[in-house]
Amino acid sequence: MKVKILKSFFASFTAVALAASLAGCQSSASNGKQSDTTDNSSGNTKAHRTLTVEVFDRGKPGQPDLNNNYWTKYINDTFGKKYNATVKFVPVPRTQEVDKLNVLMASGEAPDIVFTYNQGTVYNYVQQGGLADLDSALKQDGSNLTKYLGDDLLKYGKFNGKQYAIPGKRTVLLGMNTFIRKDWLDKLGLPLPTTAEEFYNTMAAFKEKNPGNISGVIPFGYALQPAYPGVGNIPEAFKPSDLTEKQFATLQTSPGYQDNWNLPGFKQAVQYMNKMYNAGLISPSFATDKDAKQLDADISNGKVGAFITNWDGPYRTAPGDLVNLKKNVPSAELVPIDPWANDAGKHPKPGYAPNGMYILVPKSSKNVDLAIKYLNWMSDPEVTLFLQNGKEGVDYNMVNGVPKQTGTTNSGEKMMTVANNLDYDILSNGIELGDKEKNVAAVSAGYPGFESEVENALKVGSVDNYAPYYYSTPNSADAKYNASLKNFSAQMLAKLIAAKPNEVSSLYKSLVKQYMAQGGQAVHDEYVKNYKAQNNK
């Protein structure tokens, strides 16, 4: 109880401090231009400056100093020398990025360039006056950046008619895949499951026959993470295929990661999870495994038969599930499957909009122009190629127009903590070579040793993939209630999944009523209002 009280107090304190600090930024901040120190004809600044930039700290074992490594030296040796600047990186824990960013913004200590994937967080900053208007800086110093992104992508960073964010360019729009131990299937003579019923029966067979011959077998690995409470792609098997556009837009606004409690079929998906839990098919500690570290350990130790994660999750260097699994069980084989067929026989999968992270410049920054110069420099194809692959002939070789990494970036000073080094190449959320087949090959090449597996995961994840509905006006109620509703959603799922089967229906009804009263209704109402306004124009 004491912990909960402290967390509540901290959240309230942060919100108040953030509002006060961001409001204060409006009067004390620079307008973002420093023409007295910039020589636009040469690109160099007359006075040396330091540009601070956020970088995700993923906590990967063996990772180099995130502010002093092969990549940061390249950045300072190229961009830094050109603009007489030093680029200093500020690590932020990936799993706490929104909370940490809120604290940095509230204290006035945020770097010149920060970012988040959370639109609600961005809109909060916009409403509080905490972000720099980037329109003039883009016009003067971002010609290549503007061309690289284009108007259709830049619109995702416009709020109230002004450019407050630079959207990263997401080239892979896939959300999640379901993975299964194919070696277990082969041992039992079972096919790849293609429906929810087949998946359940397969999980039951994994429990009963324990093909991995392991103590503490977990047929379906699952962790309830408060930051992204949800049940993956499972609702797609129960959602009607004939939703209207309005239903799709107003009830299904958070693809994959957040619960859509009033979406038709979502209740049945929760009941499905409850059935698996009560049959002993789900990770017993799912509700307390809030960072999924226990799930990763169980997968790595060969205990888990299937799980849902990012489309490329097992092949990522962090947490390295497949690499670690292979060390413990050399014969193990993980493959993506498509078991969530809907009533039309399709396998829909919620994906992403074409924008990646929202790159922001706090209103308090004195280096708005330099921040845009930095992003403009990063939009150069040669810079992107180096940041994502390293030096040709050393870190990669170009084969048929596709960079093939040599493995030098797996450890030491060159270690990439995420595929394609996206923590430093923040403008690109994936590789773009101008050709779909080359893109697939290039993305796959970013996972040395697992190229064919990743190519297959791309193929499976692309089937019936769909993007979220685009709103030109952000939902202010969602911005206000997003964090608290996510937290409550996690509590709801924990209770519902672990409840007695005959209690789920009534408990679902009462919990959704509470959810709507705590802000869910306001969020829904505003989506309806925004949808009507957008389509009546």
| Burial class of residue 106 (count of CB atoms within 10 Å of its CB; 0-12, 13-18, 19+) | buried
Q: Write down the residue that tokens 């499905």 correspond to.
A: 272
Instruction: Report how far residue 336's alpha carbon sits from residue 144's, in angstroms, rounded to the nearest whole number.
Output: 38
User: What phi-psi label fits residue 208: left (phi over 0), alpha (psi between -120 and 50 degrees) or beta?
Assistant: alpha
Q: In the prediction, which pLDDT does 120 show?
A: 78
Q: How far is CA 477 from CA 124, 252, 455, 511, 526, in A?
A: 10, 16, 39, 20, 7
Taking CA 82 as the corner, what is the angle to CA 111 and CA 109, rounded to the nearest 5 degrees?
Answer: 10
End-to-end distance of the chain based on CA atoms, in angstroms?
50
User: What phi-psi label fits residue 150: left (phi over 0), alpha (psi between -120 and 50 degrees) or beta?
Assistant: left
Per DSSP bridges, beta strands 85-93 and 49-57 are parallel
Helix then strand count (H, E) for the chain reads 21, 16
Instruction: Please give the average pLDDT of every successive group of 10 residues along the chain, which has 537 residues.
Output: 36 43 42 40 69 95 96 98 97 91 94 91 90 97 96 91 94 92 98 98 98 97 85 94 92 61 94 98 95 96 97 92 97 98 96 90 97 97 92 93 90 92 91 74 84 94 92 83 88 97 98 95 93 86
Q: In the prediction, which pLDDT does 20 show?
A: 44
Q: Which amino acid is at 490?
A: A
Q: In the prediction, which pLDDT does 519 show?
A: 93
131 SS3 class: strand
Q: In the prediction, which pLDDT does 445 show?
A: 80
Q: In the prediction, which pLDDT does 258 show?
A: 58
Residue-range domains of the chain with CATH: 2-172+355-385 (3.40.190.10), 176-350+468-536 (3.40.190.10)
Full-model pTM: 0.73
Identify the CA nearest to 356 among candidates 96, 119, 58: 119
| DSSP per position, 507-535 | HHHHHHHHHIIIIIHHHHHHHHHHHHHHH
Instruction: Report how far residue 90's alpha carbon sits from residue 416's, in angstroms, rounded to the nearest whole number.
Output: 17
